[in-house]
Amino acid sequence: MKVEVDVMTQKIGLYTKSGDGVWFGVACDDEKVYATSFAGDEKSALKSLIACLPFDREFQVFSALSTFAERALGSVKSVYDGKGELEPVPLATGQLSPFSRRVLEVTRLIPVGYVTSYGALSEAAGGSPRAVGGVMAANPFAPIVPCHRVVKSDLTLGGYGGGWDFKAAMLTREKRCDCSPREIPVGSKKLRVYPVELALEKVGTRG
C-alpha cells in the first residue's frame, strides 16, 4: 500500500553551518528552500530564517545537515564568496505574491559580476521601481536571490539590509573585470545589467 505524505504536515528543517567567520543558514525540507541567511553568529542566522518562514508551518532546528541542506548551504556560501551558485536549488515561493515571485525570479538571473538598477528590474519584471525595492527589502532568499546586485539608477549602491559597506564588500568579491553592459533575455523583455566595477567606482557616493 502506497502512503502519500502531505508536504504541508512536514516540519521545515533549520540548518546552520559556519565558514570563514560567517554563519550561513537555510530553512528547507527535502525538496525546496524556504529561506536562507548569513550572519556573524548562529543565533542571528536562525532568527533571520524564522522571520521568513510561512506562519502555518512547523519547524525544527537540526544539528546534523541533510543532504539537501548541505547542497543549499554550499550555494549560499558560494554566492557570499563571490563565486555564484554551485548548483541552483528550488525555492519555495508559494506563500509569496505573484508579483514578488516574478521579481525574485528575474533578480536571480543577474549574473555574478554584474548589477542592475531598480528601474531596469521593474521594466523586466513589471511594477514600479519602488515596488521592486520593497520586494528586495523583504527577500527571504539572500544571497541566492542576489538583491545585493540591485542598485540605484545612477549605479550608486543604495541600501542593503546588511549595511552599505557590507553591500560594497559583497560586490567587490564579484569583480570580474568585464567592461561591457549586457542584456539578459526575460521572456519577451530584456534585463539591462552593468559590470559591477561601474557601481564600485561610485562607492564614495552614498545614498
Q: Helices 129-137 & 118-125, crossing angle to 10 degrees?
A: 100
Q: Which of 28, 147, 177, 179 is catalytic?
A: 147
Three-point CA angle 78, 83, 85, nearest 5°: 55
Task: Quote the cell numbers at residue 207.
Answer: 545614498
Catalytic site includes residue 147: yes
Three-point CA angle 91, 97, 99, nearest 5°: 95
Which runs of consecutive H residues, i.e. helices, occur in the chain?
A: 42-52, 67-80, 98-107, 118-125, 129-137, 164-173, 196-200
Which positions are annotated as active-site residues? 147
